[in-house]
Structure 1
Amino acid sequence: MEAENQTEVSVFLLRGLSDDPELQPLLFGMFLSMYLVTVLGNLLVILAVSSDSHLHTPMYFFLSNLSFVDICFISTTVPKMLVNIQECSKGISYLECLIQVYFFMIFAGMDDFLLTVMAYDRFVAICHPLHYTVIMNPRLCVLLVLGCWLTLFWVSLIHILLVRRLAFCTGTEIPHFFCELAQILQVACSDTRINNICLYVATALLCVFPLTGILFSYSQIVSSLMRMSSSEGKYKAFSTCGSHLSVVSLFYGTSLGVYLTSAVTHSSQRSSIASVMYTVVTPMLNPFIYSLRNKDVKGALQRFLSRATSWP
């Protein structure tokens, strides 16, 4: 099979989660349900926060952005998979694949960055409460979110431009249910050393550093809590971090699980199944975690739903 220039490759094949025809209706129903629950749950969080003036604070501003990113994150991969299952097809066009890679990297990175920014917000609130309103002013909050978006737009664009220079073989099959950069580099028919170097550097900068920032923030928070004499103050401070800690643990736990699964088993199918955890399950569970563990969000949701149901 001869390698062709990427401009001549019109379609890739996505292996998907299973080739069993009998499982396709089950997979379609399951992922459609998870997608609808994710969109509805995160949309409710956004509406509840925006409609309640008590939640117009930096922490909930970042939470609204996280919910919006989670909707976009799952919308990057699941709808195409549902279409392919419905049409009994594995094809995805070259352009669609690049677009999927681009937005997947942006939204996955935004999840990572927003969790880091939210950890910094909790650090300032607990360790420097008297200066919280001055430090976490609206201008800084907007600049932090805007800086995250701009950084990821350009980093993702660099990766896409590097992929554009690669050659692929006709009928290339991607061993995944969506176009992921690492999987695309593995099936390329040309030298990918520069791509891999950029991928490793980006992973270090966009994953390791944010995680380090989260760990540092919580180490300072724990140290500050240990110095508190009031048990009520400790409980109140910890309760504001509980939801965020749960989401951080879920995001990094599932991401690490995918990495370990692919490193240990070397099975693309098992790696794809594990990827469902952080690409689909995590965005779906985030609104439930915040609404169940956070009294403010739970109260805002109840008030919003009561107003919505009583609307004539």
Structure 2
Amino acid sequence: MRAIRCVEWGGPERLRLEDIPEPVPGPGEVRLRVHAAGVNFPDYLIIQRKYQVRPELPFTPGAEVSGTVLETGPGVTRLRRGERVAAFVSLGGFAEEVIAREAACFPLPDHVDDAVGAAFLLTYGTTWHALADRAALRRGERLLVLGAAGGVGLAACDIGRHLGAEVIAAASSAEKLALCREYGASETIDYTAEDLRAGIARASAGAGPDVIYDPVGGDFAEPAFRAIAWRGRYLVIGFAAGKIPALPLNLPLLKGASLVGVFWGDHMRREPALYAEETASLLAAIAAGQLKPLVSHRYRLEEAATALTDMAARTVRGKIVIVP
């Protein structure tokens, strides 16, 4: 079968398309024919050895897929051959076939597209866990989303609207902010054209956001936190800007505010029952049309390096997928 291989640490241009043996499922595992694989920022980091997970070389990147069960390993009882699923696989997704744990597979409703099935687990899963669980976002609260037109940012606009929040989207262009309005933002801030703190004050009528969703980090973190409302919750999602900010600890003291870490991967491993419940809620909302993950572009397997480069350059809207 064909697979994208990381044989040396470095940028996407070092990835190779190779023929490798078909994988064999072990106990509790299934072999999937990959219909689509989601492209995520950790995929870009992991091939450069900059992610918290550092696999041995060589390996195939790609953490989330949709596909059809081709073969079941010993002890698999819930899934059957021919069943369509969405699966979180951590590694191996950028290939024609992949191994997944049965516990990490979720049956896809017939009318949920393969591309959507490959594009919601990480971004929407992270965001549901962040907003509903870690922040306990309540109806009527103000939610500020930084990097709002990216994969997790757009998911935050969508889920925030679904949970009844007033969504303020911050992004780097009018075009991106127009998309955020389609996904639930009632106020927007173009932080290339307006000072971020001034924009937050304007968009929140001076009150500040109750919850800040930050997948970007970098230089916007401190001014955003300085604008947070009393008892606000600042969700640390990631550092797409590349710089991990250092906040003065007097800021949460003065606002009675909380810094809240969101590590979806460990949440999935440590709290599997809650993770399964959250994912079931997400799939039900997607199937009902209440949430609408955006897949803006599909790439061929041999275009994986281009897909990762485009995603890292933050030129894509929502999610992109690789279709073997």
Tell me if TM exceeds 0.5.
no
Q: Which structure is higher in RCO with an 8 Å CA cutoff and minimum separation 6?
A: 1
Instruction: Judging by fraction of residues, say which structure has more helix.
Output: 1
Higher strand share: 2
TM range (shorter): under 0.3
The two structures have a TM-score, normalised by structure 1, of 0.25
Structure with higher Rg: it is 1
Normalising by structure 2, we get a TM-score of 0.24
